[in-house]
Amino acid sequence: MAYDEELADRIRLLIKPGPELSERKMFGGLAFLIGGNMAVAASGQGGLLVRVDRTESDRLLANEFVEPMVMGGREMVGWLRVTPEAADDDTVLREWVDRGVGYARTLPPKKK
């Protein structure tokens, strides 16, 4: 399944452009990176992938529209999947994009 291009466009509108922002196709979707660190992605499986502080993962998973991100059968702590239904709501999308971007900005930039 290809990623939702409309969702990617909505994410673009929420992220303040700057030299640290880049986009890259990955995980079957379109990822938005801050300083080379993934913040959020329009998932190829639908919905949104969000990078969060590992210490907040369990608390955020209590939300009914949030699931752990699983790759290769392994749960990725600090990475969450927000369902397409939740990502359809502009307010909810903004909250998750802000959370992912905010966390990515706390990480040291990756060297090119």
**CATH code for the domain of 40:** 3.90.1150.30
pTM for this entry: 0.92
Structural domain that includes position 84: 5-104
Closest CA to 13 of 68, 90, 87, 108: 90
Residue 112 lies in a domain: no
- Per the CB < 8 A criterion, the answer to whether 78 and 53 are in contact is yes
Residue 111 lies in a domain: no
Number of separate domains in the chain: 1
Question: In which residue are the tokens 């990502």 written?
Answer: 87
Confidence of residue 18 (pLDDT cuts 50, 70, 90): confident
Q: Is residue 29 over pLDDT 90?
A: yes
Residue 62 lies in a domain: yes
Give the 3-state secondary structure of residue 82.
Answer: strand
Residue 38 lies in a domain: yes
- Per the CB < 8 A criterion, the answer to whether 32 and 41 are in contact is yes
